[in-house]
Amino acid sequence: MFIPLILLWLCVCLIILQLKSRRPNNFPPGPPIIYGLGNLLHLNLQNPLKDFERLSKSYGNVYSLYLGAKPAVVINGLEAMKEAMVIKAKDFAGRPQDMFVNEITDRKGVILADYGSSWRDHRRFALMTLRNFGLGKESMEQRIKQEIQYIIRTLERSIGKTMSPQVIFHNTASNIICQVLFGTRFEHDDEIIKVIVRCFTEITKIANGPWAMLYDSLPFIRNLPLPFCKALNNTQTYLSLAKGFVTEHKKSRVSGEPRDFVDCYLDELEKRGNDTSFSEEQLMRNTFDLYLAGTDTTSNTLLTGFLYLMNYPHIQERCQQEIDEVLEGKDQPSYEDRDDMPYVQAVIHEVQRVANTVPLSVFHCTTKDTKLMGYSIPKGTMIIQNLTSVLKEEGQWKFPHEFNPGNFLNEQGEFVKPEAFMPFSAGPRMCLGESLARIELFLIMVTLLRRFKFTWPEDAGEPDFTPVYGATLTPKPYRMKVQLRAEQ
């Protein structure tokens, strides 16, 4: 009597679980779902990039995964990426709002805030302010050039020796964004910059690591003392430092004569009066976002660039030849010189393509019920952009799987930028730090290549080009040998 009832009950439970684990009608296909876990067992949480590639071969360029109970759509390839991020940009411009990164940002700022009027106001203000402070103009160039002098002095002390470039490039990128935000820089051994760099390094590592994914997928673990708590503590450490900078600015600023981003925001606060979308809390969150957008991306791209240039010496030498010809008689390069350096431009863009610094961009979500490549995507669905699939897509690149500046040169040797070049995504959510990064990469690489020769140390063994996965892809630590060029 009891056995048939138990069997019936088990059958009912299995049917309910099966129904709950089915995808909605016309939703993108994907691997079988395990109730409660979704597709977590299909992913290597330490580094899911190869899994995303493998799944696209089985299910196509638009497929779905369940992270616990949450559905997510993974976009691969240029055609699908353009439809979502450019053609239907507004439909895909939201941000998921129940995730670990939202705990870090408190749903404020300009990167992770949800799509709406407050986000649009703050993004517009940030872009306008950066432009007004010379993004691509002489004032911004001067700040970058001043910081480059500190790199040069450090490298000159290492002539003939081997050195690790990680700290130099991270601190350089950090100081440049600190000048933009707070009008100040720090010596590379200053404790404040060490704390700031450490905070953001640990935050980005955890934010795209397995603990953040488990936090997002399994809500019952969120109050446990697990490693993601470290990122939350680091966020508060940075915000305390930022609050101190803002307090100092309020004492020393002259209204209407802004020195940096913080002064501009405080001026805007005065103008807006009771507009609650602008506040000192939002200011500190904006500096957090801009620092995040403008530091790791640039420093890791530089590290990738010099790793490849050392191991492709013929490319380094051809860059130096072009630099010498264009800059003959000039004390230092300017950003405008890039138009006369097609090969250097091609190399820098190829470095960005291969570095693939933010391989999954920042997760989006749909703002309304919409369609993508014929599939139905409900409002609020998480969207994951697999930028690797575009930056290495067969048919979009002449040499998709190798480091070759020819990807950005036409038959006449002129610089061209293929449509598939989108290392910082595309559309209204495109990375805020991209324009600043372009100027930094050009001025830093050209200045250093003009003065120094970089070689792979004889005793360093074979180079390992495999990056370390995180919110940004980071080259494995390496050392380089620095020599003054003969002309210098």
- pLDDT score at 4: 46
Q: Please name which of 189, 403, 187 lies closest in space to residue 314, comparing C-alpha atoms.
A: 403
- pLDDT, average across residues 289-316: 93
With a cut of 70, say whether residue 400 has pLDDT above it: yes
- pLDDT score at 444: 97
With a cut of 60, say whether residue 9 has pLDDT above it: no
3-state per-residue secondary structure call for 54-82: HHHHHHCCEEEEEECCEEEEEECCHHHHH
pLDDT digit string, tens, across residues 202-239: 877 777 667 777 777 777 777 777 777 888 888 899 99
pLDDT digit string, tens, across residues 182-193: 988 888 788 888
State whether residue 275 is helix, strand or coil: coil
Residue 157 in tokens: 């002390």
- pLDDT score at 419: 94
C-alpha to C-alpha distances, 483 to 158, 454, 456, 486, 488, nearest whole angstrom = 8, 6, 11, 9, 10
pLDDT digit string, tens, across residues 358-375: 898 888 999 999 999 999
pLDDT digit string, tens, across residues 422-476: 988 888 888 877 888 899 999 999 999 999 999 999 988 899 999 988 767 889 9
Over the range 377-393, which residues count as b (16 or more CB within 10 Å of their CB) and which as e?
beebbbbbbbbbbbbbb
Over the range 342-368, which residues count as b (16 or more CB within 10 Å of their CB) and which as e?
bbbbbbbbbbbbbbbbbbbbbbbbbbe
Percentage, residues of the chain above pLDDT 90: 52
C-alpha to C-alpha distances, 393 to 126, 309, 468, nearest whole angstrom = 33, 23, 21
pLDDT band at 156 (very low <50, low <70, confident <90, very high): very high
Range of lowest pLDDT (6-10, 27-31, 410-414, 466-470): 6-10
With a cut of 60, say whether residue 97 has pLDDT above it: yes
pLDDT digit string, tens, across residues 244-267: 999 999 999 888 888 889 999 999
Between 83 and 126, whose confidence is greater? 83
pLDDT band at 8 (very low <50, low <70, confident <90, very high): very low
Residue 31: which region, alpha, beta or left (left: phi > 0; alpha: psi -120 to 50)? beta
- The whole-angstrom separation of Cα 111 and Cα 129 is 16
pLDDT band at 321 (very low <50, low <70, confident <90, very high): very high
pLDDT digit string, tens, across residues 161-180: 999 999 899 999 999 999 98
- The whole-angstrom separation of Cα 332 and Cα 147 is 13
Residues 170 and 440 sit within 8 Å (Cβ to Cβ): no
φ and ψ of 131, to 5 deg: -65, -45
Residue 208 in tokens: 């795209």
Kindly report the length of the chain. Answer: 488
Entry pTM: 0.89
> What residues contact 422, with CB distance under 8 A and at least 6 apart?
81, 85, 387, 390, 391
Average pLDDT, the chain: 87
With a cut of 50, say whether residue 15 has pLDDT above it: no
- pLDDT score at 17: 41
- The whole-angstrom separation of Cα 76 and Cα 83 is 11
- pLDDT score at 42: 86
State whether residue 409 is helix, strand or coil: strand
- pLDDT, average across residues 276-293: 87
- The whole-angstrom separation of Cα 103 and Cα 207 is 11
Residues 452 and 417 sit within 8 Å (Cβ to Cβ): no
pLDDT band at 277 (very low <50, low <70, confident <90, very high): confident
- pLDDT score at 209: 66
Write down all domains in the chain, each with its CATH number in brackets. Answer: 9-484 (1.10.630.10)
